[in-house]
Chains A and B, each alone.
Chain A
């Protein structure tokens, strides 16, 4: 079968908050020949099922639900006549930016001057945790349970145990309770919660759902359907402590145990990933290790707020605009690293030409700390924080004239 190759200025993979915001900004910047490829029936990404409010506070100064937040972008995209190809799965991208797309009308091939990776992330599953026990129905990730209830009108649970204190898990604890299920408890293997404080307060405390830290599920029971789980307290190295076993009868185990940037396509194009973020290594212009391929949003690193995803995607779109219009781009020769208190920093390389906002997360809760960017022993930027939590992304502004050539820039906790 002979295929016609269509030329694009920019192909955007994913029509969620990152892809939509990037497309709008590109069009506003005068980049006309763009396309969003979206695998679902409708654009909006995960926001379609995030019916709770709390979106848009920083961007629109209003408290919106996920679908409303998405619709603001979708309406604007429609007004600007940005083409969104729905029901379309990108199956391959190459280093020279040829993309194969399976659409409703068959296979399509695009050649783009730039590709924006905006595929978001996926949930860690039971397989990633290797919980012993049988393989019954009734083990769902929080996002799957959320889709059942909020999109498909299916109630997947009656008696529930939740493993992991991620935000979606806590939000689902509330949602399941409101829909008549009984959520017995949330168990978190870490000695601190992994989600936002407001969700502990509003999704667990309000409904009397206990959060047990330093506990994990060590066995799943049941044949056809889950009949219960064994929970144990964990000690050093997260090892379950013998003698602390407790059986919780339940029909459903919900997992909210982390999100992983979705980078199968990126890997196929030869994009190098960061072992800590599990997203692409990027320079300050959000360009990956493959020239002309850019990444922003949850595909790059998992964000805690959609508003920040949109912001990041807009910054990326400005960089992509410079790239496709042939602007002289700065050489990003300064590498960015972090000390052992910090899990990761984005971007991984910066130039001397532009100011940059570093995005980072600490890897355990800290109080009264200074986050500092240090180069050759000199503190070139710092920020004082009353508390720093792994659940909350930290942004550190580094002014351009402070960055020195040739020396590694390390982000440290002082």
Chain B
């Protein structure tokens, strides 16, 4: 019962699991998985990996190298709101962070409590855990009208 979704294991390494931002190649934004792009000199991720083939879009190759050398993800969750029309405000990271740090970032988000009103886009945690990414509110929450 180990029939999981198939992954190509062809050699040389074949790009699989490219995020589907490829609908309009060249017109979408670059996925910013890392600020420093892997180089080609000896000992760099690129030279360790060897030739990369099978990229389905212009971004495929850099995505692939990023994905196996320093995989990063964004994160979406929510924080508790007091005095708001909704009990929760959704939040997200502005930049992807290393996958291994996602649980730590989640812990920081869980600690948060915010007071309504709140504008979408407000920075709730600047440079969370020094990872170069902000936690921002993604919903505008109005303050609940004071009851009599």
Closest to B24 in A: A58
User: Which residues of A from 304 to 359 have beta carbons under 8 Å from B?
Assistant: 305
Given A53-B92, A62-B29, A178-B77, check contact A67 B87 (CB 8 Å): no
By the criterion CB–CB under 8 Å, are A213 and B3 in contact?
yes
Interface residues on A, range: 35 or more
The residues in A between 196 and 225 inclusive whose CB is less than 8 angstroms from any CB of B are 196-198, 200-202, 205-206, 210-215
Q: Please report whether the interface of chain A is mostly helix, strand, loop or mixed according to DSSP.
A: mixed
Residue A244 CB within 8 A of the other chain? yes
CB of B21 within 8 Å of the partner chain? yes
Known: A67-B90, A67-B139, A214-B3. A57 touches B120 (CB 8 A): no
B11 within 8 A of A: no
Are A206 and B78 interface neighbours, CB within 8 A?
no
Are B120's CB and A67's CB within 8 A? Answer: yes
Q: Which residue of A lies closest to B54 (CB)?
A: A386
Known: A62-B29, A71-B120, A233-B1. A197 touches B20 (CB 8 A): yes
Q: Given the interface contacts A150-B90, A197-B20, A386-B56, does A246 sit within 8 Å of B138 by beta carbon?
A: no
Asked if B21 and A57 make an inter-chain contact with CB atoms under 8 angstroms apart, the answer reads: yes
Would you list which residues of chain B between 1 and 34 have a CB under 8 Å from chain A?
1-5, 16-21, 23-24, 27-29
Residues from chain B with a CB closer than 8 A to the CB of A244 are 1
Taking the closest CB of chain A, its distance from the CB of B18, in whole angstroms, is: 7
Of all chain B residues, the one with the shortest Cβ separation from A152 is B87
Contact assessment for B29 and A197 in the assembled complex, using a CB-CB cutoff below 8 Å? no
Q: A196-B20, A201-B17 are in contact. Are A57 and B28 (CB under 8 A)?
A: yes
**B48 smallest CB distance to A (angstroms):** 21
In the complex, per-residue mask of A136-167: 1 if CB is within 8 Å of any chain B CB, else 0? 00000000000001111100000000000000
> Which of B4, B21, B78, B99 gathers most chain A CB within 10 Å?
B4
User: Do B92 and A65 touch (CB < 8 A)?
Assistant: yes
> Please, could you name 16 A-B residue pairs with CB atoms under 8 Å apart, sorted by A?
A48-B139, A58-B23, A67-B90, A67-B120, A178-B77, A178-B102, A196-B20, A197-B20, A198-B17, A201-B17, A202-B73, A212-B3, A213-B4, A213-B5, A215-B1, A215-B3
